[in-house]
Structure 1
Amino acid sequence: MTGIVFACVAPHGSEIVEDLAGSTPELMASTRASLQALGKAARAASLDAMIVLTPHGTRVEGQFALADSERMAGEVESHGVTLTMERRVDRTLARSVAQAAEADGLRVASLNFATSEGPFSNLPLDWGVIIPLHFMPDVPVVVINPPRGTDLAPHERFGAALARAARESGKRVGLIASCDWSHTHDASGPYGFHEAAARLDGAVVDAMKRGDLEALATFDATFVEDAKPDGLWQTLVLAGAIPREARHVDVLSYEAPTYFGLLCARVTSTA
């Protein structure tokens, strides 16, 4: 079997990685255990490449930003400890995804830096990629930043194009929707407190348990702004990649131990 053979929704809070948790390793222990289980499943899938949808990489307004450098590297620092990571980019798969999306009339920006290839062709890995990949097999990556905003219609179409490119690649491909959820759970957090945070995260967990990822596209814009999630856009791409009629979602855990929500779910296809 080729195409998308592993998929998940995974968070990216730095303290999920035990070495970055400082004196409180128990803070995100439930999420850490879930990511370890997802990583085990990904390794069992014998992946050739991993596609990561991140909200925190290089953004291009109104376009799907896709890394087409030779490699990517970055670091995450927390509690005086630094986690570094470098990955090669599966440029053949990245370009196939871009071409499939463009053929469907979607706007895609393919990004590189400095030189077309070689050691200087290197874009940064953001924490939205590094944290979930820390638990995953070391395979070449394709990193994509979906556009934000209230126009959610293109995201499912992009997911369908992505899945088509993965199938046609002849490779076994993993897909991570890197998502933290509402960021207004705690008054001491950088975005303050809003009661919408608990309501939105509850609605997300319920929709995930039903396998109804498309429900996230129906959230009112004010509701989203008050709760401040960063997972809607990546999840809707995942929804397009694994259609509802062939989708099963297993929610492994949800917690909000600080100001933002953390959810882990495995998404499998029955097709």
Structure 2
Amino acid sequence: MSGGVACAQEATFSPPFDFPMIFSGNFGEIRANHFHGGLDFKTGGTIGKPVRALAEGYISRIRVTHGSGYVLDVTYANGYKTINRHLSAFVGDVARRVEDLQYEKETWEVEIVPEPGEYAVKAGQVIALSGNTGYSFGPHLHLDVFEAETDDYVDPMAFFKKQVKDNVAPRAEGIMLFPQPGRGVVDGTSERRAFPLHPKQPITAWGTVGAGIRAYDYMDGASNRYGVHTVVLEVDSVEVFRSVVDRFSEEENRMINSWTYGQYMKSFIEPGNTLRMLHASNGNRGLIDINEERPY
């Protein structure tokens, strides 16, 4: 592969299904001790929907595991890799090879790493059937997308925006203020405090304070709520912080605990948190200095 790795805007993927795309979960949702690494595609409450290859490439790993059920990894020529989880079945030669190995080893859990190109695929080719295997909460396809060069998890939505029908805006549902120990006070206390989006009384604060927000995204045709992609904090119309949930590495996963408090996303960077998705532009890690008696 020459010319380096294609970026998400340049690389193209066809959809994994030939029916409208609706999600039960999206990239980067806040989970216990980790970010949700991919997109969860709904399959109409049924299993056995044909799952298609997204581009030209080859099947690079075949697994049956208790955690993710039937799993298929695909390496694509455009610089990306995918993992398809919770499948109900493989197809063709792959299905026969897995079954033979299960009989031979007398075990359900197996792993095969084929030679590159042994199982070549083209865009739109059926590579498996969707399912509900492993630790799955209902029939769906979990699709992880990785940048091959860095092994970063990347947001698959960048590839499917044109096919997704979504006119529903994200909604904020609450804010939390974090007075910094010994340096800030909010409504007379140095403890963190949660507030409704439209408090009945003005919030009074002094000193150095961090802000956080609880917010969710929504989409047409689904009752699910999703993680939000971008949060911007402005003070007096000047941006001081921005979080953009577009990629992360395996090593960054645990830092979700430093960025979040429950379902609140902090709009400031805690010491030692090196999450690349957090961007403070005020030279103060996104923390706000309240040092004048006036509305902010």
> TM-score of the superposition, structure 1-length normalised?
0.28
Q: Which has the higher contact order (CA 8 A, sep 6+)?
A: 1
TM-score, normalising length from structure 2?
0.26
Which has more radius of gyration?
2
Greater strand percent: which structure? 2
